[in-house]
Amino acid sequence: MKTRICFISAVLIILLSKPLFAGFNAQKLNSYQSWWITEIQKFESKTEVYGLLYQSSINVKLKLGKDSWWEYNTQKYICQNPPAGKYEFRWNFNLPKNAYVKDLLYWDKEKDTFVSASVIDLTTAENNYYANREDSASVLLRQYMRRDYNGNYNLEYELKISPVNWDETVEFIIKYVSPCEMYYDKRVVNDYSYQFYSENYNYYTQCNNTVPEKILTIDYNNPDAAPQNFQTNGIQWDNGQSWTKNGDYWQAAISKNYNQFSLSLAAENADGKFLRTYPAGNSNFYQLSALPQIKDEIRYPRKIVLAFDLIQNYFNSYSRENFIKMINEALLISTTEKDSLLFVTSDFDVKWLNNNFEQRTENLLNIHLNTVVQTVPKLNTLPYMLKDIVKFLNLKNEDAEVWIISDDNKTGVRAETVMELLNQTYFSADNKIKFNIIDVSNSYNSYYIQNKNYRGNEYLYENLSRISGGNFGSTYNTYYKLYIDKVLDCFAPTVSTVEIDPVPEAGISYSRFDLNKGRNSFNITSRYFEIGMFDGSAPFTVNYFGNYLSGSYFNNINIVEDNTNISEDILENTLLYWYGNYILNELFLQPQSYSTIKYIENLAVINHLMTPYSGFIIPGPTGSAGFKRLEIEDVTDVKEVPPINEKELPVNIGLTAYPNPFNPQTSIIINLTTAAATGSKTLAIYNVLGQKIRSFDLSGYNNLSQIKVDWNGLNDYGSQVSSGTYIAVLKTNESITSLKLLLIR
């Protein structure tokens, strides 16, 4: 049986508000019958993390499962097989937004091994699948580009395997690469394997032997540290979410998974600096991260009023005590002993915890924050608190920053009330006051003010922070383990409008992509992430530019290369992700001319990437599947010229071209000696940089004194080359002969 694996990508733009795809379905060939129950014999999700990127491999082995129902007469479950026949298996799924599919592997039963896909053009891959899906084992992975009502593009995928007999087992692996989600002290990876797991299999265990999902994870930066279960809604873990070591990997099992889950790992480097390079041919790639490293000597002393208006005992999954511990951690980072602090909290009225500003110490924070934990007011007193703080600062004649942490959600619901409060606070201050505000209310009540929707006190907080030059952050719809990032973004010293220039030793960097999701402001705990290309060598000096306070900021950060022993398969993900970004975020956004499309196809073939114009295929045993289109094009390029007289072969090898200069095509005439005519021979076209752009295989033209090759100015990937000088090089078993060609467009 021939096995064909197609890994293709199609551009399909659909306006939908709901997901286009969902779940598994088996469609019986040439029938309307379908089946969706599976018996999963192996399900393994492997995540390998290094630096800024992670690689996920989803390994699934399954067959169609049995349906079941309870029969009251016999008081037992009845099991029913799917209808006999051949099926097409279909999975519809999504991947993380910035992920790129790296590989598709399928278990070939005849070869008793996994076979991996190779890249060809979309049309050929798709045609081969549909031409053979009823008689030869074929696998097709398609990519769709969908646009939602907001105009955002999303990639969605469809995997098909056909034909599969009703009782036959199939196994495949999908690999993809994605950037980690980066936070204050952690990297987060998202597992999307649940989409290949039959979510309702627990209802059919009476008739099917389905195994639990096995999770394998390794963080090459911290291999001895077990991953943490970051966000696992709707999941039942075996053994109480425990992780055990299985060789180099940490392993856990999920007995029931209705949703995706996330794992957190430590930062890539404890000091916030990371660099790893990857040489690939004539190009060098790198990934790096760097903190702004604001030195203590440029952090000036401040007077800070810490105002707590909190009536809740629980904040998402935080108890009040643990929530204040998190705030304490953020305050230790955001302040120094140069700062002086004043504490105020809500009680039945506004309660001052100290009468004057005191130097920040850990003990001072512990004492007063413990009081905040113990003092749980019945009512929010936010408006009175704000007015009392301004009166106090006016009395003391002090400039200050006011840091507010509040769960109030009813003060700012009317524009008139907000304007009155602004007049009584900010506009009543005799000195400079800056308000930094964290909103931790969980109310979903919203209000329209001046044709815009605001939730809770957002209108008040946005205006108060904006006019005072402060910051505003909200924890609404934020996972509780990320609250500290919201607090640090609001309170910690920040460098804004950040740009970096990584300078390798004796070289330069270029063609850089930042992985910061549009972010350009970085607090002292926020790492800047980037991948790019470079000439030179490690270490790098990172020139860090931005704005700090009211002036410019500049710092030189020296980063040595991480020397962890990593496999080539993981290291090359830097190259793959760079080209993925280049294709989808630059080339694909350009006007899609023929030459641009061909260039994208070329890059996809070289770098083994799934794109809107290319796909993967494994040809059958004949080697012809997937290459028919290429053969059709090539037979017109190389033509034999019948010799005038077979007995009168030329004494010397000759190479001529007519016309030359040419546009758009020239004919290259090759005259051969007797020895050269019977031996191996190749013809290639090179540019002036010595790069091969087109090759012709002449091995099938033996015993001919003369061969004519037509070159139409296209490279090996079907793209037009530019005007200029090119060199035709003929290699035979006797000699190497060259000819200069001039293309004029």
| Structural domain spans, the chain | 3-266, 274-294+495-561, 300-491, 635-743
- Average pLDDT along the chain, 745 residues, taken 10 residues at a time: 50 32 81 90 95 96 89 84 94 89 90 83 74 80 74 80 94 95 93 75 69 92 91 63 88 74 92 95 92 89 97 93 97 97 92 95 98 94 96 96 96 92 96 97 88 93 96 93 95 94 92 89 94 94 92 94 95 93 80 75 76 58 33 34 36 77 88 82 81 84 86 88 83 80 80
pTM score of the predicted model: 0.77
Other C-beta atoms closer than 10 Å to the C-beta of 311 total 15
Q: What is the DSSP letter of 211?
A: P
Instruction: Please report the pLDDT score of residue 11 as a whole number.
Output: 36
Inter-residue contact 217 to 263 (CB < 8 Å): yes
User: Which CATH number, 3.30.2390, 2.70.50, 3.40.50, 2.60.40, labels domain 274-294+495-561?
Assistant: 2.60.40
How far apart CA 210 and CA 243 sit, in angstroms, is 22
**Long-range contact pairs involving 358-365 (C-beta distance under 8 Å, separation at least 24):** 360/335, 360/336, 361/337, 362/332, 365/328, 365/331, 365/332, 365/341
Tokens 């089946």 identify what position? 35
* The pLDDT of residue 259: 66
Tell me the CA end-to-end span of the chain in Å, nearest whole number.
49
The answer to whether domain 274-294+495-561 and domain 300-491 are alike in fold is no
Domain 3-266 has CATH 2.60.40: yes
Given this model, what pLDDT does residue 254 score?
81
Distance separating alpha carbons of residues 339 and 700, to the nearest angstrom = 83
Query: Which one-letter amino acid corresponds to residue 55?
Result: Q
CB count, 10 Å around CB of 358?
Answer: 14
Which residue reads 């050269």 in tokens? 676
The string of DSSP codes covering 640-707 is E---S-TT---SS-EEEEESSSBSS-EEEEEE--HHHHHS-EEEEEEETTS-EEEEEE-TT--S-SEE
CATH fit for domain 300-491, picks 2.40.160.20, 3.40.50.410, 3.40.50.720, 3.40.50.80:
3.40.50.410
The whole-number pLDDT of residue 648 equals 36
CA angle 529, 532, 534 (to 5 degrees): 130
Residue 300 and residue 320: Cα distance in Å, rounded?
A: 32
At the second CATH level, the architecture of 635-743 is Sandwich (2.60)
